[in-house]
């Protein structure tokens, strides 16, 4: 897969934007610089080998790993699969404002025609806060995801899970500067970090990870554990299932639809993973827990 260059484009926005702020603490007032997580729109365009083009999404995101975000989003929606992308690059259309060119990504397909996207029931304008407005049909997801019985066995210990939130936080460089980003991390079943991505949208962070795997030829991710820094929504479960991930963890709660999806597709779903405790909402058999021995207390004579 080729990554097109961005010659002639304006300055690329970064993940952090600096502002002057006034900090008030008690009766003390001080003007200082503050770093905020950047939030800007990203337009994702498709370009078929035959020349047809179409905008498929506009999402609010934190700049960085934009090509991975585009690839992961398209994979999660079933629009492209392995081998389906020929190149990804920033748009260089002359009619586009220079400052917007790093906010527009063109995905060049290997197929001669654009895919049929009538099954994708959605509004293609999304936000970093709420994720996808609408989803691909469950039938389409069922067609793309293997049955649980066909997946290789994978298991992880509770002790390993306990260590993951700290390892994710250690890899969040931009969060350390801004305190305002979500993160998604891939780990081995032994707890070793594989890749971490940050974004103002938790679903964008997952798309960046899936796009990283798609562009690197490492899908499916059936031997990895996914950890997200916030809650687990239906969209995140959809993206994880599409990527073949069998264990999804979150430091916060899952939604009811996320639990329904995890149970239907055989994905282990862990929530409230913090302070050496967690809840398992689906498929607990993949979690190895060393149970404390029960203590029998004899009744008094």
pTM: 0.84
pLDDT tens readout for residues 108-131: 999 999 988 765 545 455 554 444
Give the contacts of 80 (CB within 8 A, at least 6 positions apart). Answer: 71, 74, 107, 109, 115, 214
For position 281, what pLDDT does the model report? 97
Taking alpha carbons only, the member of 287, 245, 278 closest to residue 262 is: 245
Q: Which residues of the chain have pLDDT under 50?
A: 6-8, 121, 123, 128-136, 293-297, 301
Give the contacts of 188 (CB within 8 A, at least 6 positions apart). Answer: 194, 223, 224, 225
pLDDT tens readout for residues 130-145: 444 444 457 777 777 7
- Binding-site residues sit at 272-277
Question: Distance (Å, rounded) from C-alpha 214 to C-alpha 222?
Answer: 13
For position 66, what pLDDT does the model report? 96
For position 217, what pLDDT does the model report? 95
Report CA torsion sign: 272, 193, 200, 173: positive
Structure tokens at 218: 């490492």
* Count of other CB atoms within 10 angstroms of residue 114: 17
For position 63, what pLDDT does the model report? 93
Give the residues across from 53 on adjacent strands: 47
Catalytic residues: 130
For position 2, what pLDDT does the model report? 55
For position 296, what pLDDT does the model report? 46
For position 101, what pLDDT does the model report? 81
């Amino acid at each position: 897969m080729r990554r097109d260059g961005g010659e002639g484009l304006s300055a690329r926005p970064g993940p952090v934007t600096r502002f002057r702020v006034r900090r008030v603490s008690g009766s003390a007032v001080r003007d200082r610089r503050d770093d905020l997580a950047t939030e800007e729109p990203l337009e994702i365009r498709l370009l078929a080998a035959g020349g047809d083009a179409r905008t498929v999404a506009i999402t609010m995101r934190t700049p960085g790993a934009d090509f991975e975000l585009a690839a992961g989003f398209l994979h999660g929606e079933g629009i492209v699969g392995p081998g389906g992308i020929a190149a990804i690059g920033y748009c260089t259309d002359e009619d586009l404002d220079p400052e917007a060119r790093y906010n527009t990504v063109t995905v060049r397909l290997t197929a001669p025609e654009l895919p049929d996207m009538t099954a994708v029931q959605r509004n293609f304008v999304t936000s970093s806060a709420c994720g996808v407005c609408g989803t691909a049909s469950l039938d389409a997801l069922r067609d793309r995801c293997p049955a649980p019985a066909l997946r290789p066995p994978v298991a992880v210990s509770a002790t390993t899970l306990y260590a993951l939130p700290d390892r994710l936080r250690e890899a969040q460089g931009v969060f350390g500067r801004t305190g305002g980003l979500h993160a998604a991390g891939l780990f081995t079943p032994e707890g070793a970090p594989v890749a971490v991505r940050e974004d103002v949208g938790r679903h964008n962070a997952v798309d960046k990870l899936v796009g990283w795997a798609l562009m690197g030829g490492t899908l499916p991710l059936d031997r990895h554990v996914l950890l997200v820094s916030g809650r687990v929504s239906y969209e995140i479960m959809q993206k994880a299932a599409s990527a073949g991930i069998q264990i999804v963890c979150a430091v916060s709660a899952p939604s009811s639809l996320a639990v329904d999806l995890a149970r239907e597709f055989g994905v282990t779903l862990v929530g409230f993973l913090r302070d050496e405790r967690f809840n398992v909402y689906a498929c607990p058999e993949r979690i190895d827990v060393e149970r404390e021995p029960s203590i029998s207390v004899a009744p008094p004579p």
